[in-house]
Chain A
Amino acid sequence: MSGILRLLLNRLGISLIVLVGVSMLIFAIARIIPGDPARIALGPNANAEQIASLRAEMHLDASLPVQYGHFVADVLRGDLGMSLYTNRPVTQDIAQFLPATLELVFLAGFIMVAFGLPLGILAARHRGRWQDHLVRVIALLTVSAPGFVWAVILMLLFAFYLPLFPIAGRISDIYDIERTTGFLTIDTLLVGNWAAFGSAVHHLILPAIALSLSGIGQAARLTRANMVETYEKPYIEMAQAYGFFPSRIARSYAFKPSLIPSLTIIGLDFAAMLGNAFLVEAVFAWPGLSRYGVAVILRKDLNAIMGTVLIIAITFLIVNIIVDLMIAFLNPRIRYSTRGAS
């Protein structure tokens, strides 16, 4: 069995255990917080019998372990239950809202890497000089304000005072695009509507930047710190002693060994964007899963809360596995671990 495959199976196993733990935890928390979900669902005009019958339907009268057992059995059948808030199956809600959030998070993650890493490389290469100071100030600035603050600032500057971008929503109302994947940037291309694609991208830019800014700062700081350490290594002095170009040393000889420790954290930052998206989505009226999550928590919509948290946990774990695989692939020591030293 190759090292990578073994690593993958190992990580999948661990992720499954984590997932069970997360589901138990959120299941317990959702039932400990006060308030009767059946009463909230039925509204103030419901009578006692109606509430009692809904409670029975939702297994709310059974003991917690029994309730959890019902929940797991349902999940395994692909049934996350009905949402009391939207009155639709939770799976259907998630299928509708998750792509919107993923679209946002993917673009934000891409922006984070595309700007954060080069800024970090630049700072490390010119460590102690003005380029370094500039990058560090920018990074500190972006890290110290949360995404929703940037969302408000960017919206004011570039959507309100300087109306370069739309204020809210995913796409202009004039387009009616058939939902195939739920990703508007993909669906518009599937129907070949370039104008609609442009509109979808146009709507994505500001919220994605707002979401990515603190990640950019984080990635830049991390890359810089790891690279500055790498610059002290003998193999960098060797590269300098052979007269390799400083830009090449920075981009290749110093960056590659530094990427591995940075990547773990960048992966976590990326996954954390799902959570940070809550407020950014709220500011930009982005119909995503995070906004849905807030709405259902406020209404104590148990099934929807469980479903949302489960999906976010799964996304987190998938990102982690991908990062682990990338690290394994980048690091020759892990890649060749099964071959042994020769």
Chain B
Amino acid sequence: MSILHIKDLHLGFKTLTGHVDVLHGIDLDIAAGEKVALVGESGSGKSVTARIVLGLLQETRTARISGTVQFDGQDINAMSARDRAGLRGTEMSMIFQDPTSALNPMFTIGNQFTEVLRRRDPKLSKAASHARATTLLDEVAIPDPARVLGAYPFQLSGGMNQRVMIAMALANTPKLLLADEPGTALDVSVQAQTLTLIRDLVEQNGTSVLFISHNLGVVREFADRVYVIYRGNIVEDGPTDALFANPQHAYTRALMSAVPRITGAGLPEVPEVSDDFLAPRISHGGAL
């Protein structure tokens, strides 16, 4: 069965001058243990989709959300705010773009780790959480966990903070991991390590992933299936291999041609808007 089932999801924001529509009926499914990527340019609606799944946007009073977002059989939109908060940090968790700014500068890593672990087990003692955190940091190949737990985020490198965040995100063995352009703020080699690490861990735990990115190269390496989103619509979707072998939609092709080549053919021209981009959705199948 699917862990995440999104059907006809609409999102709009009430503004001073009227109403802005951001998502125009998104359909998306993630099976248990499946790694799914949502690819699109900035402002295409990929990050807000993740925030709706987490139940964060539902707390914003200007947001108007309709449609179905079923997580593990329960409709997130129909839940109370308290129940939604109950799922966060336990059944689903998130990895952020810039690990160093996503960790609170006023608290030690150990302190923040304890808070995360107590989401699952509120009565966890300091010593027990320290022991558990040490094990988890060990799993993400952090050399000296005790020192890292006593450190503040600004004392660690970006790559180190990234590993800490991955360990935190998977600490409570969530069913779904949302990864919002993880490592984009880091340099390329660290980013690659990060992705390998996430892939290994989620495969080991059987965690489903919704991977949000604008980087097709990364997506190709990481995801089982891909959804391409453009201006609040899914324009193409399918198994990664099928979609990359035979991109059908004009926007997907433009996006693929926009990946800079190491051979140095210069940056390709991608039009801001094209009528072709608004063509209807193309599906290569592969979803449950």
Contact = CB atoms under 8 A, between A and B. Distances in A.
A242 B119 contact: yes
Contact of A244 (B89, B97, B151, B155): B89
B152 A336 contact: yes
Interface string A299-342: 00000000000000000000000000000001111001000011
A234 B147 contact: no
Interface stretch (B99-107, B200-208, B278-286): B99-107
A331 B104 CA distance: 12
B54 A241 contact: yes
A253 interface: yes
A239 B111 CA distance: 13
A128 interface: yes
Contact of A238 (B61, B87, B96, B154): B96
B75 interface: no
A341 to B, nearest CB: 5
Interface centre among B102, B152, B168 (most CB of A within 10 A): B102
A234 B116 contact: no
A330 B104 CA distance: 14
B194 interface: no
Contact of B56 (A234, A240, A342): A240
A260 B11 CA distance: 37
A31 interface: no
A243 B87 contact: yes
A235 interface: yes
Interface string A226-250: 0000000111011111111100000
B106 A242 contact: no
Contacts of A256: 104, 106-107
A13 interface: no
B220 interface: no
A240 B96 CA distance: 12
B48 to A, nearest CB: 13
Nearest to B90: A243
B156 interface: yes
Given A237-B56, A238-B94, A243 B88 contact: yes
Given A257-B104, A257-B106, A241 B56 contact: yes
B86 interface: yes
Contacts, number: 73
Interface in B39-89: 54, 56, 61, 85-89
Interface in B112-153: 115-116, 119, 147, 151-152
Main secondary structure of the interface of A (DSSP, over half): helix
B177 to A, nearest CB: 11
B119 A238 contact: no
A243 B154 contact: no
A333 B90 contact: no
A245 B85 CA distance: 8
A234 B95 CA distance: 11
Interface string B159-203: 000000000100000000000000000000000000000000000
Nearest to A255: B106
A341 B155 contact: yes
Given A242-B89, A244-B89, A332 B116 contact: no
B116 A242 contact: yes
B85 A238 contact: no
Given A243-B89, A336-B152, A235 B119 contact: no
Given A241-B56, A243-B90, A244-B89, A235 B105 contact: yes
A330 B154 CA distance: 15
B103 A235 contact: yes
Nearest to A340: B155
Contacts of B87: 243
B102 A238 contact: yes
B105 A257 contact: yes
A332 B106 CA distance: 7
Nearest to A260: B106
B29 interface: no
B85 A243 contact: yes
B98 interface: yes
Given A332-B152, A342-B151, A239 B104 contact: yes
Contacts of A333: 105, 152, 154
A250 B117 CA distance: 20
B233 interface: no
A256 to B, nearest CB: 4
A233 B106 CA distance: 13
Contacts of A243: 85-90, 119
Nearest to A240: B56
Given A336-B155, A341-B154, A342-B147, A242 B103 contact: no
9 contacts: A238-B104, A240-B88, A241-B88, A241-B93, A241-B94, A242-B88, A242-B93, A244-B115, A333-B105
Given A238-B96, A241-B56, A245-B85, 5 more contacts: A240-B56, A240-B88, A242-B115, A256-B106, A257-B105
